Structure 1
Amino acid sequence: MDEQDYLQSEGEHDDTIDEYLEMLEEDEASAESKRSRPVFKIGAVVILLAFIAFAYAWLPFLWPPHLDFLQQDQALSEEDLVLRCKPAVVNIQAKKTGDALSSQGTGINLEAEGMIITNRHVVEGAESVKVSFSDEKSYFSQDMEIIDGYDLAVIRLKAKDLPFVAVETEQMVERGQIVTIIGNPRGFQRISSRGEVKEYFESDAGMPAFTINATIAPGSSGSPVLDEKGCLVGIIFAIGTVKLDGEEQERALAIPATALNYTEAR
């Protein structure tokens, strides 16, 4: 399947979640032996590879899709926190300039007029972006601001009465705290996962970040990390694998929401 086919078929994924789950359960034994997740060191190389995988929609077809995230979403989808926050989670499609490929990711709205937070690598080099909400309303914008020193960007809309979430910029989320992630992995829309905040680290570029033992997939770039109150405490930017006690463990990598203190907007 080429890039165009994949982008056109994304809207069909929502209707086939149950079918995928049944397939996953039936093939669980054989699928386990076929899985081969990439192993990354936390650092510049890891971040670069993860950026590429997240930003370009066609890359997931270079390896078998992992649908584990759908199982947890089924359990979380009816929770009050998830239901309250989902309307503020958006899908972002960025139209790149020149010969660059278009990219897509997730974002979260923080203001009724439209202030979308996403990853820098999702929108960098774009001449315009399309922001789509869960009610199928879409907005186009060329008003984008890059947050220096972070893989973060702000997209401004000219709208009103949009759903939004509150943001925690006073203190970082604590290690051991349980958080919820809502994103658009592999074309599925507003899929929720949950995990525990594990380690804090600093990237080679000096960007503070933390890890979460939660399952995410390409398309999750810019996904909000929410605390038990539904406040934004972090933004997903990559996947990494850490080695602990001789065992490799996959982690979601996130930027603390305190980074938003460095924007002119807040």
Structure 2
Amino acid sequence: MSMPINPSQTGPVYTPPGDTSQPIVQKGSVTPPPAIVLGEAERIKMATFTTGFQSEVPPPASDTPPYQSVNLDSTLAGIGEKEVMTDMYAVMALFQKMAQEQRNSAREVRGSEMQAQVNSLKNAAQEIKDAAYDRYVGAMIEGGMQIGGGLLNMAGGVKAGKVAAGGDQAGATAISGKYSGAAGVLTGIGTMAKASQDLKAADHDASKARYEADAKVHESGVQQANDLMQQMMDVIRDVRDKLGSIEQSRIETSRGMARNI
């Protein structure tokens, strides 16, 4: 049994006796793939593709600084207790400052909302006054017209009575009808004038309702500003308590370390 080496194979091969045409590759050997033969057109396409791809990728800049490694353990080990406590105090102080600024802003909003609420209530009161005045004018006009109509009826009755006493009953009836008609006209004019004034008064009532609604909205804004101010005050108190607790804990830790020395 012979084991000749085939140059085209990387592992040892086994040739059985009597058959030297096809060697049998042993288990574990690797046979390289056959070479791919490209024609002239394929080689030109491949060269064009490779050249175009390389031209699109820019070369790295010559002045690019090299990467520097950072030792995180040594960096964290260099931070002492003093730096950590200082940062904690700075964070707490920042929270307190932000809460105080929010509280100041809420105070300004509350002041503006209260002033707007007062103005709305004043405007509503003025609208009530204007509506009452318009109704007063309408009632006076209607009353004056009714008085005029009554006087006309009285005058017509007196004149009709004199004419009837003279024996002219038809004339007396005509005179009475004329005066009654004139009195009715005056009464109608008074009613129309009162209706016009009532319309103006109703417009003032609607304006009053709008002003009252605005006052309610501003009242809600005042309440929200008060709630925000109270919340920010609670935050400030919590921050102060936390700072006091941290300081107290640090003092107690220092005392304990001093006893153990």
Instruction: Say which structure, 1 or 2, has more relative contact order (CA 8 Å, 6+ apart).
Output: 2
TM-score above 0.5 = no
In which range does the TM-score fall when normalised by the shorter chain?
under 0.3
Larger Rg: 2
